Amino acid sequence: MKCDLAAGCDSDGDGTADAAFGESVALTPAFSLSALRSNVAGEVAVNVTTLTDLATRLAEQNPNGLDAISIEGANSQVANLFGITGDLSALPVIDLTDSASLAAVSDNSARRAALLSAGLLQAASSNGGQSMEEALTALATEFLANNGQLIVNDGGADDSVSLSDVLSAVTAIITAVETASETDFGEVATELEREAGEAEQSAEGELTNAQPSPEAGSPALAQAKAMVGDVRTLVNASGLGVLETGAKAFGDNVEMAGKLLEPDLDSAVGALEQAVTAMAEALEEHMSAATAPTEAYSYQASNGLTIALTPAGDGVALSVDETLDGNTLAINATFAGTVEEDSSEDEDSWQDQLTVDVSLSATGSVSNSGVTLTLAQGSAIALDFTATESENWTNSDSEQGWNYSSDTSGQLHLNAASLLLDVSIAQAASEAVANPLLFTGTLDLALNGGHFSWQESEEHGCTNNDSGSVCEDHNSSTESATFDSASLKLSGELADSEDNKVALSLLINAEANGFVLEHNYSELYRNLWSDSGMSSNEHSAEDGFNDESEEAFVSFDFSLSVVAALPGVAEQTSISVSGARTGLKEGSLSGELQWLGKQLDISADAGSETITATNQDGVVLTLHEEEGSNIIGRIRKGDELLARVERSGDNLVLVRYKDGSFESAI
Amino acid sequence: MNPQSNHRHAAGLCQARLLLALLCGPAPVTAQALASDDWQFELFADSLSYSETVPIAAWFDELDGPTRRGERAFTSQRLTSGLRHGPWLAQLSSRYDTYLQFNPDTFEAAYRNENDLGLVSGQQYPIALQGEHLRGNALSFGYVGQWQQLEWRLVAGYLRANEMFDGSMSGVVSDDGERYQGQAHLDWVYSEDLLLDRAVSAPTGHGLQSDLWLDWRPATGWHLWLHLDDLFTQLWWRDIAYTQAELDPPASANPDLFDDPLLSGVEGYRDYRQRLPLKIDAGLRAPLWRTMSGGMRLRVVDQQLLPELSLHHPLGHWQFGLSYLLQADAPGLVIGHRYLALQLASDSLDWQQARTLVVNLALQLPL
């Protein structure tokens, strides 16, 4: 077997990898994987993975024994647990170490399954001291003990395998695969990375809540009909009435608690602003001092706050620990790095060079009687760049007229910039606030390899002649910007004390691929002056940006999810949208809805005018207007055509099933 | 005389007799008692269209026209040509029939839907609709018998059709402002799915068509008749498309969760027997005063009674008359000749606004 674990494969559990990623690994004789499939007729291919092995063990544990319902129910539960659509054992197996194998399968669900299968094994193996077989058995034992669920976040415990562990392993495997081959997992990678972040931030010890599809084990036609019902409920806006009701109840509480929270929060944020202003003032004084202090000292800021400074090497630690307008401030910040500036100037020019490599991390809290605002450990901003700017000018004045011109140019090379904010806002319970709110959120922004340049020219002058003078003002500028890569992670959760919550998570990765955004601007004013004043004037201007090309364009992929656990809704509901721009006019968009125990993946390819929806049973609905026909879609499972979606008249869409039954889409 | 010359002579004689018959026939067309070796050409064109709601033309144009409250619309058209030799008949006919019965609310709902007006929000529309349609051709044979002054004609033959529908819809629908709701049942067979646009294979129906005519002329100028068309007309369709559908209100416990489809049902193919309604044409024609005669006539089509009064007066070899369809307020013109009878009637001189249109042509030419 080829090793497809990023950390390498330790088949005998001696703590040393026996094979690196991509190398062949000899398995112990005890190592085995299994898969179960029901209602098999004729010759079928069954693909065996770590995922099918877990499903097999889950089915075998079913007290009703092995039958179509227990087998397909187990397969479906494992698939739902990992957000995979389709029949687990029918998904094509991908060799992650072989770029040809990767290129041969573009199906996102299959790629996701391959990554998760490897991630499971890597997460299980990483607990150490176990052969791969033992690790897999330990994983299965824990999985079965939790009735087919995983702990979402085990806080890094060594004796368990959590969903967070699996997704982190997947992220590492993605990096290993993309490094070893030219494969770009695109939105699948972004989606999994976002899910890893969400799992990592989940409360420790909570179990996943994956359920088998209600139609697991049913005939394909019944699954198709169930899917149409799900899509109908989804499409019909008021079909989410249960959610609306829940959202309204939660929203009412947020609104009511928010009104009570607002003055306290305003006060806390105001105090924080005062603290930041005072720290910035203290830092500026410290940096600009002719001789920087080397011992700890206090600085009294102009707003009255006292900042304690403790110099350390190139940096300085700042802290404020005071009470301001009823707010208790306890903020610690650490500034480190260097700022070097070199400038020169003469009669007709100046130059300036700035080299910055700094970081500022902060932690602490501001609290009052109504709210506590906490800046968690890790919140930091870092900048590493070099900038140069210069200007030169000329000036002349004579009887024939006068002229002034200047040229300014500069460039900034950004090695890296990052911002990480980890904030929580906790409302205090009181007589007026029985159900207080808690908001936690993080913002992680990173930019690598940025390059910005700018050039400005201006020329003003007047030329005198017999009838008066001609004056011209000419301004032009060119700005350009590019970057190597950028990423944005944003996550937030708003919850109340009754465990109702709405969480949002967004991850965007982008690359410029050589595209440089340019902005060119020029304008000319031309005025004719005579003795009686201005006799005529002209104005012209050009302003524009350059376009991307087939070769140079900004590519990106993103993944957004919203998870809600609301009153009246038995299970969590999540909506996620992922997309990728892979070419100038190429891209894809997909969405996943997990709602009331069901799952629906919707994807669209730019330009193809085709929308595909796949549900948890592997039933695929393809919507595509067929020319010369009233058929606008087909429903299949595998190669079996189960239904046609047809337009009937102007307003009616019918789904016609292969058994002769039909139903309106809504 | 050689046979070829004799044949040409006979053909020329026939043409001359045909021309004379058209120009100089002495009396209105009536059933002619033929000698056993006489030949006669017959042509009948019968068209009766009637609508109580919109003009007939609007039925072919998305109901776009002025409306009246009504419960019925139909059109029955048949073109028959044939040869009679003595008492024996052979006929070829083409026919087009559509019969619709509905309650006023059904028509209003259909009218508003076709004209994109939407149902009146909150109003309940009880639905009751029955419809039948056929387009086909028949090859028939008949016998014309005579007993004293009573002549009877029985024609029966093979009917073949490739276009039809037959079915009904009942229930109640409403529009709550967001979408249609209601509970209704639809059951129909068809050659073309006009309701739900289902693509179906072309069917063929085979069957029988039969008519019985009784004409009694007890004295000069007196004529009583009873014509029963489609006395027994049935078609058997093999593997004809059908749809059974239900319009159901949301069945979910939560009225906001429209898990259930608004419309659902079953489509397929099945064998079906279609029976066309009997059409009755009965009347009396009698002398009134001097040469003038009067008539009373009753047509019964798809349970709809259409009484008619008429006055006739001879003019040379021709008979001219005026008729009036009481139920439809449709005056008409009647022209008669020994071998020809023609009636045109309409409730409007603008045919596009007409709700009743009658065209009857009978031509019986001895050869």
Q: Is B118 on the interface with A (CB under 8 A)?
A: no
**C-alpha to C-alpha distance for A337 and A228, rounded to whole angstroms:** 60
Mean pLDDT of A117-124: 90
Angle of helix A108-125 relative to helix A186-201, nearest 10 degrees? 40
Start-to-end CA span in chain A (Å)? 50
Q: What is the pLDDT of residue A15?
A: 75
Q: Do A229 and B266 touch (CB under 8 A)?
A: no
Q: Do A661 and B198 touch (CB under 8 A)?
A: no
ipTM computed for the complex: 0.76
Q: Which residues of B touch A652 (CB under 8 A)?
A: 196, 263
Selecting from B179, B258, B266 the residue whose C-beta is nearest the C-beta of A233 gives B258
- pTM for the full model? 0.70
Residue owning tokens 């337009």: A647
Selecting from A233, A239, A662 the residue whose C-beta is nearest the C-beta of B264 gives A662
Mean pLDDT of A243-254: 62
Q: What is the pLDDT of residue A567?
A: 56
In this predicted structure, which of A7-21, A206-220, A326-340, B216-230 has the lowest mean pLDDT?
A: A7-21
Q: Is B177 on the interface with A (CB under 8 A)?
A: no
Taking only the tens place, the pLDDT of each residue in A517-542 is 999 999 988 888 777 777 788 889 99
Selecting from B198, B199, B258 the residue whose C-beta is nearest the C-beta of A666 gives B258
Q: What is the pLDDT of residue B187?
A: 95
Q: Do B266 and A652 touch (CB under 8 A)?
A: no
Confidence of residue A235 (pLDDT cuts 50, 70, 90): low
Q: Tell me the nearest-neighbour CA distance from B259 into chain A, angstroms.
A: 6
- Reported as type and span, the H/E element at residue B190 is strand B180-190
Q: Which residues of B touch A232 (CB under 8 A)?
A: 258-259, 261
Average pLDDT across chain A, whole number: 86
B contact test, residue of A236, A595, A654 with most B CBs within 10 A: A654
Taking only the tens place, the pLDDT of each residue in A548-584 is 998 899 988 888 888 776 555 545 577 788 888 888 8
CA angle A492, A496, A500 (to 5 degrees): 85
Residue A353 CA: distances (Å) to CA of A288, A387, B313: 17, 6, 120
Strand partners, A598: A595
Gyration radius of chain B's alpha carbons: 25
Give the number of residues written for chain A.
Answer: 666
Q: Tell me the nearest-neighbour CA distance from A564 into chain B, angstroms.
A: 18
Q: Is B260 on the interface with A (CB under 8 A)?
A: yes
**C-alpha to C-alpha distance for A558 and A589, rounded to whole angstroms:** 9
Q: Tell me the nearest-neighbour CA distance from A229 into chain B, angstroms.
A: 6
What count of other Cβ atoms lies within 10 Å of the Cβ of residue B261?
A: 22
Selecting from A239, A660, A662 the residue whose C-beta is nearest the C-beta of B258 gives A239
Q: Do B256 and A238 touch (CB under 8 A)?
A: yes
Give A451: exposed, middle or buried? Use CB within 10 Å, 0-12, 13-18, 19+.
Answer: middle
List the helix and strand counts (H, then E) for chain B: 2, 17
Q: Which of A226-235, A271-280, A289-298 has the highest mean pLDDT?
A: A271-280
Nearest CA in chain B to A661: B266
Nearest CA in chain B to A231: B259
**C-alpha to C-alpha distance for B2 and A552, rounded to whole angstroms:** 98
Q: Is B196 on the interface with A (CB under 8 A)?
A: yes
Phi, psi of A73 (to 5 degrees): -65, -45
Q: Which residues of A touch B198 (CB under 8 A)?
A: 646, 648, 656
Confidence of residue A244 (pLDDT cuts 50, 70, 90): low
Q: What is the pLDDT of residue B294?
A: 94
Percent of chain A with pLDDT over 90: 38
Q: Do A663 and B263 touch (CB under 8 A)?
A: yes
Q: Which residues of B touch A233 (CB under 8 A)?
A: 257-259
Q: A81 CB contacts (<8 Å, ≥6 apart)?
A: A148, A149, A150, A208, A210
Q: What is the pLDDT of residue A238?
A: 41
Strand partners, B73: B51, B100
What is the DSSP annotation of A555-589?
A: EEEEEEEEEEE-TT-SS-EEEEEEEEEEETTEEEE
Q: Is B261 on the interface with A (CB under 8 A)?
A: yes
Could you tell me the two tokens for B152?
């009877």
> What is the DSSP secondary structure assignment for residue A237, as one 8-state letter?
G
Give the number of residues written for chain B.
Answer: 367
Amino acid residing at B127: I
Q: B147 CB contacts (<8 Å, ≥6 apart)?
A: none
Q: Do B267 and A660 touch (CB under 8 A)?
A: yes
Amino acid residing at A277: T
A contact test, residue of B119, B181, B197 with most A CBs within 10 A: B197
Q: Which residues of A touch B262 (CB under 8 A)?
A: 664, 666
Start-to-end CA span in chain B (Å)? 21
Taking only the tens place, the pLDDT of each residue in A402-443 is 999 999 999 999 999 999 989 999 988 888 778 888 888 888
**C-alpha to C-alpha distance for B203 and A74, rounded to whole angstroms:** 48
> What is the DSSP secondary structure assignment for residue B159, as one 8-state letter?
E
Q: Is B37 on the interface with A (CB under 8 A)?
A: no
CA angle A63, A67, A68 (to 5 degrees): 130
Q: Is B256 on the interface with A (CB under 8 A)?
A: yes
Q: B126 CB contacts (<8 Å, ≥6 apart)?
A: B103, B105, B106, B171, B172
Q: Tell me the nearest-neighbour CA distance from A240 into chain B, angstroms.
A: 7
Q: A305 CB contacts (<8 Å, ≥6 apart)?
A: A274, A275, A278, A320, A322, A324, A329
pLDDT averaged over 10-residue windows placed end to end, chain B, 367 residues: 39 36 34 67 94 92 87 95 94 96 93 85 91 96 92 96 95 81 91 89 94 94 94 94 86 51 90 94 92 93 92 91 93 92 93 93 90
Strands (E), A236-286: none
Q: Does residue A157 register a pLDDT over 90?
A: no
Q: Which residues of B touch A646 (CB under 8 A)?
A: 197-198
Strands A631-637 and B234-247: unpaired
Q: Do B264 and A663 touch (CB under 8 A)?
A: yes
Question: Is residue A481 within 8 Å of residue A450, measured between CB atoms?
Answer: yes
Selecting from A239, A646, A664 the residue whose C-beta is nearest the C-beta of B262 gives A664
Give A95: exposed, middle or buried? Use CB within 10 Å, 0-12, 13-18, 19+.
Answer: middle
> What is the DSSP secondary structure assignment for residue A666, as one 8-state letter?
-
CA A265, A267, A268, A272: dihedral to nearest 10 degrees?
130
Sign of CA dihedral A366, A371, A377, A378: negative
Q: Which residues of B touch A242 (CB under 8 A)?
A: 254, 256-257
Q: Which residues of B touch A595 (CB under 8 A)?
A: none
Q: Do B258 and A236 touch (CB under 8 A)?
A: yes
Mean pLDDT of A285-291: 84
Q: Which residues of B touch A630 (CB under 8 A)?
A: 197, 199
Gyration radius of chain A's alpha carbons: 32
Mean pLDDT of A389-409: 92
Q: What is the pLDDT of residue B259?
A: 58
Selecting from B259, B263, B265 the residue whose C-beta is nearest the C-beta of A229 gives B259
Nearest CA in chain B to A654: B196
Q: Do A662 and B265 touch (CB under 8 A)?
A: yes
Question: Among candidates A564, A509, A634, which has minimal Cα distance to A191?
Answer: A509
Q: Is B263 on the interface with A (CB under 8 A)?
A: yes
Q: Tell me the nearest-neighbour CA distance from B141 into chain A, angstroms.
A: 42
List the helix and strand counts (H, then E) for chain A: 9, 24
Could you tell me the two tokens for A171?
């992220």
Percent of chain A with pLDDT over 70: 94
Q: Does residue A607 register a pLDDT over 90?
A: no
A contact test, residue of B62, B195, B258 with most A CBs within 10 A: B258
**C-alpha to C-alpha distance for A319 and A282, rounded to whole angstroms:** 10
Q: Which residues of B touch A236 (CB under 8 A)?
A: 258
